[in-house]
């Protein structure tokens, strides 16, 4: 290919979408290659890669620096000075190829920022900073840096080098390469000392060790949005809980090592079901895929079609000889075959769930909750609610059941009122339910938003044939001509009562028929669980400088980059109920004048099996719209019950109660979350706090086994200790006006 053709090819790379719709697949060149040239980029484009990763410096620089280190060590120097890069040391020069965004810089992988030898760590830090400076100068946008090798090294030196590196260039994104299943989990060659003595090796590392290292980097860099992860996927992959942990993190790149593949019976590289599932899960985060073709010499074909077998065991090491084949089929894993396979895999991903489509662009985006009582919503907001394919069906079912029950009791002239009718979708559903129940009902639509009221008038004229009585008022002031049999409302917020449904419905309860009156919903409950949400914490941290009370607001969020910390023994999330509201309310008469009967409090203890960091609390709701002896119609936003109660409902995102200071929790810990719903007769708000507990062996209470037998010992008993207490957060300042 001549140079001009190559240029043209480079120019066409972004348009090469017929073969790469929406996915960015790059070639991660494993060795310090030659300079970035149009030819190299053209070859990548020709091979259907959108980008390449290239080392900033080359072997010449490595040799120079290694010689300096050896010299410093030989002379017993305390300090080492590493000169900057020279023309012959670099793989790139500033030109349009570099700032096209198609080249990702890689920091020298031979440096050891975390070395316990101060000469080596110092020299490494200097190399890192020279390379960051030069890559930034060239216009590079994104750099890959190898993560620390394991927890035994000088991690602080690594963190400090990265923090300092961030300040060298204000725009560069730095992605840390970390194996999803830590390298420290691989048995060291030749076995450990414990092995040689015939002892069981002590498990220094577990599946979260790799994440621990990343957590340290993220904490040390103060959740900088310029630090992300380049997660390395190899043959051994973590179990689904550790995958969920990584999913909560800012994974910008997935580096797929060729060892992440197995060869099928025909000799082509394919992925096991577990690897496919992992790729499918992470595709929701739209990562950039980098293929590292470090093909293995002993790589031999699989005997069966690995697409159908459960292999390798999750979270296990690659079993010795696991890839040995019983056939002697020819290998067909030329470098391109890895990309082709990934391509097919990505193109065949199943369609995303409805909430992902509906909420596209809103993932992990912090929104201030609506206050439909105090504010008047706009048409666009109503339009978004009205897109829900499930909520209105559920309401229609509930209204129909309630109407039939009233009819069976011999009630005549049934009156139904939709209170807070918005643009009228529930009115339409009530009319339809009555028609389906063969009932002629009187129907009212009450709305205090004067603008939505205009739309209700239009609906009554054009759609409802004038059969609805419209009233523009606050429902709490409404005086109907007769008792209402069914009050239909949808005033629920993401935490059930946070948009003041209880206060509004209490105010209109007097219009409800005293003996047979029905409220739809009949009840609702708020639910919560502690979560890790580094993205949300990072966002709040960046706003906290200008808005100090950012942590005193419950936010509405489509939670995706989160990890549930409290799981039961089956690995299912523990979500606890905070409180319940029922309508019509029975305790109205016990009110002390300040809306006291709507105060609530809740204290729940959550077991946390695996260590992590609590950034806040996720809140959900459930509601019984209508229940009789044989049927129940419900809504739920709880991730563990939504499918059973209102599958594919999209109207509500979760609520997120942040903590100002993230709280680390250890393995097998407990977390107590406390919540208060407080009201002073003018406003309603929440207070919340978290306490963490650990269980530590207590020699005093441990049971010494009394026996003459030499095997007698001690049964260790653990005591529960309070580790940390958060401050009490309060949304009082932003509380809802009643």
Ligand X SMILES: C[S@@+](CC[C@H](N)C(=O)[O-])C[C@H]1O[C@@H](n2cnc3c(N)ncnc32)[C@H](O)[C@@H]1O
Q: Which residues are annotated as a binding site?
A: 382, 391-392, 447, 474-475
Compare residues 24 and 464 and give the one whose CB is closer to ligand X: 464
- Our answer to whether residue 499 is catalytic in this structure is yes
Question: Any idea what the Cα angle at residue 421 is, between residues 417 and 425, rounded to 5°?
Answer: 105
To ligand X, the closest distance from the beta carbon of 473 in angstroms equals 7
For β-strands 654-665 and 555-557, DSSP reports them as antiparallel
To ligand X, the closest distance from the beta carbon of 437 in angstroms equals 20
Q: Do 530 and 614 touch, CB atoms closer than 8 A?
A: yes
Compare residues 287 and 420 and give the one whose CB is closer to ligand X: 420
To ligand X, the closest distance from the beta carbon of 592 in angstroms equals 22
Q: Do 155 and 148 touch, CB atoms closer than 8 A?
A: yes
**Catalytic residue from among 490, 552, 634, 670:** 490
Compare residues 69 and 518 and give the one whose CB is closer to ligand X: 518
Q: Is 582 exposed, middle or buried (0-12, 13-18, 19+ CB in 10 A)?
A: middle
Binding-site members for S-adenosyl-L-methionine are 382, 391-392, 447, 474-475
Q: What is the DSSP letter of 194?
A: H
Query: What is the rounded CA–CA span in Å between residue 398 and residue 521?
Result: 9
- Our answer to whether residue 386 is catalytic in this structure is no
Compare residues 46 and 473 and give the one whose CB is closer to ligand X: 473
Query: What is the rounded CA–CA span in Å between residue 177 and residue 242?
Result: 17
3-state secondary structure at position 304: coil
Strands (E) in 35-89, as ranges, are: 51-55
To ligand X, the closest distance from the beta carbon of 665 in angstroms equals 36
Query: What is the rounded CA–CA span in Å between residue 390 and residue 393?
Result: 5
To ligand X, the closest distance from the beta carbon of 491 in angstroms equals 5
Beta bridge partners of 90: 57
Q: What is the DSSP string of 406-460?
A: HHHTT--S-EEEEES-TTSHHHHHHHHHHHHTT---EEEEEE--HHHHHHHHHHH
Q: What is the DSSP letter of 185?
A: G
Q: Estimate to the nearest angstrom the gap between the alpha carbon of 81 and the chain centroid.
A: 43
The residue number with the shortest CB distance to ligand X is: 420
Q: Do 488 and 430 touch, CB atoms closer than 8 A?
A: yes
Provide CB contacts within 8 A for 700, sequence distance 6+: none
**Catalytic residue from among 131, 249, 499, 552:** 499
| Interface contacts to ligand X, rule CB under 6 A | 372-373, 377, 382, 385-386, 420-422, 425-426, 446-449, 452, 474-476, 490-491, 504
Tokens of 82: 């590493």
Q: Estimate to the nearest angstrom the gap between the alpha carbon of 727 and the chain centroid.
A: 25
Residues 114-123 as b or e (16 or more Cβ within 10 Å = b): bbeeebbbbb
The sign of the dihedral angle between the CA atoms of 216, 222, 227, 228 is positive
- The set of catalytic residues is 490, 499
């Amino acid at each position: 290919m001549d140079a001009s053709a190559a240029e043209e090819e480079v120019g066409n790379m972004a348009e090469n979408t017929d073969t790469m719709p929406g996915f960015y697949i790059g070639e991660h060149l494993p060795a310090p290659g030659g300079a970035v040239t149009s030819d190299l980029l053209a070859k990548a484009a020709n091979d259907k890669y959108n980008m390449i990763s290239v080392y900033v410096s080359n072997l010449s620089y490595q040799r120079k620096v290694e010689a300096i280190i050896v010299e410093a060590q030989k002379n017993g120097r305390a300090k080492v000075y590493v000169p900057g890069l020279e023309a012959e040391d670099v793989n790139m020069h500033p030109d349009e190829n570099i700032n096209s965004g198609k080249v990702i810089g890689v920091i020298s992988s031979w440096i050891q920022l975390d070395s316990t030898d101060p000469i080596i760590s110092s020299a490494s830090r200097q190399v890192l900073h020279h390379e960051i400076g030069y890559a930034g100068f060239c216009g590079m946008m994104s750099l890959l840096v190898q993560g620390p090798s394991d927890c035994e090294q000088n991690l602080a030196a690594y963190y400090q080098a990265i923090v300092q590196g961030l300040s060298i260039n204000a725009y560069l994104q730095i992605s840390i390469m970390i194996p999803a299943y830590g390298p420290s989990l691989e048995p060291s060659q030749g076995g450990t000392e414990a092995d040689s003595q015939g002892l069981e090796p002590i498990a220094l590392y577990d599946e979260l060790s790799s994440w621990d290292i990343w957590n340290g980097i993220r904490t040390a860099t103060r959740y900088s949005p310029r630090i992300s992860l380049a997660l390395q996927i190899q043959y051994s992959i973590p179990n689904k809980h550790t995958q969920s942990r990584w999913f909560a993190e800012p994974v910008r790149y997935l580096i797929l090592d060729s060892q992440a593949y197995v060869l099928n019976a025909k000799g082509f590289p394919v992925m096991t079901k577990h690897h496919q599932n992992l790729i499918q899960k992470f595709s929701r985060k739209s990562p950039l895929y980098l293929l590292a073709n470090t093909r293995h010499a002993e790589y031999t074909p699989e005997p069966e079609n690995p697409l159908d077998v459960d292999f390798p065991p999750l979270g296990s090491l690659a079993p010795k000889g696991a890839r040995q084949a019983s056939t002697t089929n020819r290998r067909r894993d030329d470098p391109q075959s890895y990309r082709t396979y990934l391509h097919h895999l990505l193109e065949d991903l199943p369609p995303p769930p409805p909430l992902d489509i509906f909420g596209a662009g809103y993932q992990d985006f912090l929104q201030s909750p609506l206050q439909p009582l105090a504010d008047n919503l706009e048409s666009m907001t109503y339009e978004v609610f009205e897109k829900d394919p499930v909520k209105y069906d559920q309401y229609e079912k509930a209204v129909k059941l309630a109407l039939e029950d009233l009819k069976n009791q011999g009630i005549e002239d049934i009156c139904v009122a939709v209170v807070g009718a918005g643009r009228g979708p529930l009115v339409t559903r009530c009319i339809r339910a009555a028609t389906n129940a063969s009932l002629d009902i009187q129907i009212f639509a009450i709305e205090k938003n004067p603008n939505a009221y205009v739309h209700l008038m239009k609906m009554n004229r054009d759609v409802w044939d004038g059969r609805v009585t419209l009233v523009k008022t606050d429902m709490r002031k409404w005086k109907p001509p007769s008792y209402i049999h069914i009050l239909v409302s949808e005033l629920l917020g993401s935490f059930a009562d946070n948009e003041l449904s209880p206060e509004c419905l209490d105010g209109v309860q007097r219009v409800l028929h005293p003996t047979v009156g029905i409220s739809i919903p009949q009840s609702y409950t708020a639910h919560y669980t502690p979560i890790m949400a580094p993205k949300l914490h990072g966002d709040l941290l960046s706003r906290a400088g200008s808005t100090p009370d950012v942590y005193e607001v419950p936010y509405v969020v489509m939670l995706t980059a989160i990890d549930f910390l409290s799981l039961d023994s089956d690995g299912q999330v523990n979500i606890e109920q905070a409180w319940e509201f029922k309508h019509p309310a029975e305790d109205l008469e016990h009110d002390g004048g300040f809306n006291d009967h709507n105060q609530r409090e809740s204290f729940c203890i959550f077991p946390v099996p695996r260590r992590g960091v609590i950034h806040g609390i996720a809140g959900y709701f459930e509601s019984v719209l209508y229940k009789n002896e044989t049927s129940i119609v419900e809504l739920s936003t709880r991730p563990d019950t939504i499918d059973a109660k209102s599958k594919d409902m999209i109207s509500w995102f979760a609520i997120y109660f942040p903590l100002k200071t993230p709280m680390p929790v250890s393995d097998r810990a407990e977390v107590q979350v406390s919540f208060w719903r407080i009201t002073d007769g003018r406003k309603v708000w929440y207070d919340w706090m978290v306490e963490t507990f650990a269980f530590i062996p207590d020699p005093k209470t441990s049971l010494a086994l009394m026996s003459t037998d030499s095997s007698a010992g001690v049964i260790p008993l653990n005591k529960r200790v309070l580790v940390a207490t958060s401050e009490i957060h309060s949304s009082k300042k932003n509380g809802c006006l009643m």
